[in-house]
Amino acid sequence: MKEKLTVIKVGGKIVEEADTLSQLLNDFSLLPGHKLLVHGGGRSATQIAAQLGIESKMVNGRRITDAETLKVVTMVYGGLVNKTIVAGLQARGVNAIGLTGADMDVIRSVKRPVKDIDYGYAGDVKKVDGEALAGLIRKNVIPVMAPLTHDGKGQILNTNADTIAGETAKALAGFFDVTLVYCFEKRGVLSDESDDNSVIPVLTPDLFRQYVKEGVIKEGMIPKLENAFEAINAGVTEVIITSAKAIGQNGGTTVKK
């Protein structure tokens, strides 16, 4: 039987506010068993870019990463945010290591091809080295992954943290019994958007299809859940969608076969 591994993805907002970061680090450090943290970037990059006189361009909610913006996200995500988390976890007895995709070549990506929109230095993940990550994890070294990858030709690429979490969970499914936890603002997938207590506890493919048909699950939640089912189909044991405040607690929506 494989050992259990929890892959947790948290957004940038949680890690850039001192009190929510502190709670996250406490909760993550208390989580039993093998674990891995993927963090987003958040608004601090936008703010620092603005202070440096670099305009942040967004199209459809995605950042356009020009050369100057890439420098800023490499500094903020790969340096400030990542190392603050690592030092904070070390203080809590967790032997963390901060990684971008370039470190140990753990995540190779390609620059997103230009179709209608040129996203600039944005990376689409091609390959996660599950063996290298599993090697660290088995030595109780806890990877803390920044939303940055590389193309193997020296180019760093800005990369969606949800994608990094999903692809990393899949690559590690051959080595561990993986639970992938996506943290967001709500306590789970809601059956009634206006009621925070209407969390759908379990979603199977059949239930998902039914809820979509009924219009209960809609819009941005549909691709999020499609990604979750894709991870399940690729060997991840379960995907939990929950609030960052609920890490280590039962609750949220569990997506499974």
Question: Which residues fall in the annotated binding site?
Answer: 41-42, 63, 158
Contact between 150 and a copy of itself (CB under 8 A)? yes
135/223 with CB nearer a copy of itself: 135
**Stretch near a copy of itself under the rule CB under 8 A, chosen from 117-125, 152-160, 182-190, 222-230:** 152-160
In this structure, what are the phi and psi dihedrals at residue 148, rounded to the nearest 5 degrees?
-135, 140
Site for a copy of itself in 174-233 (CB under 8 A): none
Tracing tokens 């970061």 back to the chain, one arrives at: 21
Q: How far apart are CA 109 and CA 158, in angstroms?
A: 10
Among 153, 206, 213, 219, binds a copy of itself (CB under 8 A): 153
Distances (CA, A) of 46 to 50, 57, 61, 77, 83: 6, 9, 13, 11, 19
- Binding-site residue positions for substrate: 41-42, 63, 158
Contact between 75 and a copy of itself (CB under 8 A)? yes
Three-state DSSP class for 245? helix
**Taking Cα atoms as reference points, which of 125, 100, 101 lies closest to residue 111?**
125
Contacts of 224 (CB under 8 A, 6+ apart): 162, 182, 241
102/181 with CB nearer a copy of itself: 102
Interface residues toward a copy of itself, by CB under 8 A: 48, 51-53, 71, 74-80, 82-84, 86-88, 90-91, 95-100, 102-105, 135, 139, 141, 148, 150, 152-156
